[in-house]
């Protein structure tokens, strides 16, 4: 995705691939996992880390992502996996490692996702809420985009965050295109 950002929309619409746990270990700074990934891919560790961070930012932490996706897991994942992934994400986003204000919104997404899923009761409530949002509206038989924010953005999607700054995708494209 780092070298083919045009695939982001497609990847966002697909289920998470196998190996997300490895990406989370890479972004969290696990040196052994980073070296192993670099050896397997024959790429430098810096490139592996940059690509993993890009995937996490664009696919897991996208504003439209649901709590399971934010935590890099399927809905069937055990609570221990959700907790472990949350810890890896927060280790990566810790202010001592990342000195940018842009990360505050990402930390909020991770902590909200964890709050939604951290107990069996909250998880069941979240699952019921998500199931209800996937049901078509009885009045029109169609869903409005705001009822299901798990899909890719529409053509007219606003590429700015709530604070008025360009989204991560827009900033990445600016960086890649030199604008």
15-68 pLDDT, tens per residue? Answer: 999 999 999 999 999 999 999 999 999 999 999 999 999 999 999 999 999 999
Which pTM was predicted?
Answer: 0.71
Q: Provide the percentage of residues in the chain whose pLDDT is more than 90.
A: 59
pLDDT the model gives residue 1: 76
pLDDT in tens, 152-168: 333 334 444 455 555 55
What pLDDT was estimated at residue 154?
A: 36
pLDDT of residue 103: 81
pLDDT at 4: 82
Locus of tokens 């009822």:
147
Six-digit token pair at 94?
């810790």
- Least confident segment among 7-21, 86-100, 127-141: 127-141
At residue 95 the predicted structure's pLDDT band, cuts being 50, 70 and 90, is: confident
Residue 176 pLDDT greater than 70, yes or no: no
| For the ranges 117-121, 152-156, 169-173, the one whose mean pLDDT is highest | 117-121
Contact in structure between 64 and 151 (CB atoms under 8 Å): yes
Give the single-character DSSP code of 166. Answer: B
| Residue 81, pLDDT score | 97
Residue-level pLDDT at 5: 80
The sign one gets for the Cα dihedral 78, 80, 85, 89 is positive
- Closest Cα partner for 150 from 53, 54, 67? 67
Q: Within the chain, where are the H helices?
A: 8-13, 20-27, 31-41, 45-55, 67-70, 79-93, 102-117, 120-134, 168-177
Task: With H, G, I as helix, E, B as strand and everything else as coil, classify residue 44.
Answer: coil
Q: 166 pairs with which residues across the strands?
A: 160
């Amino acid at each position: 995705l780092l070298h083919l950002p045009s695939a982001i929309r497609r990847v966002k619409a697909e289920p998470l691939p196998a190996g997300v746990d490895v990406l989370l270990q890479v972004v969290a700074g696990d040196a052994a996992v980073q070296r192993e990934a670099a050896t397997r891919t024959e790429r430098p560790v810096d490139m592996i880390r940059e690509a993993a961070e890009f995937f996490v930012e664009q696919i897991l932490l996208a504003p439209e992502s649901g709590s399971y996706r934010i935590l890099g897991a399927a809905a069937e994942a055990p609570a221990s996996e959700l907790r472990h992934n949350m810890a890896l994400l927060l280790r990566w986003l810790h202010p001592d490692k990342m000195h940018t204000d842009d990360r505050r919104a990402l930390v909020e997404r991770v902590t909200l996702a964890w709050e939604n899923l951290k107990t069996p009761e909250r998880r069941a409530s979240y699952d019921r809420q998500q199931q209800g949002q996937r049901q078509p509206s009885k009045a029109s038989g169609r869903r409005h985009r705001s009822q299901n924010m798990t899909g890719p953005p529409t053509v007219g999607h606003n590429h700015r965050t709530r604070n008025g700054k360009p989204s991560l995708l827009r900033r990445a494209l600016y960086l890649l295109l030199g604008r």
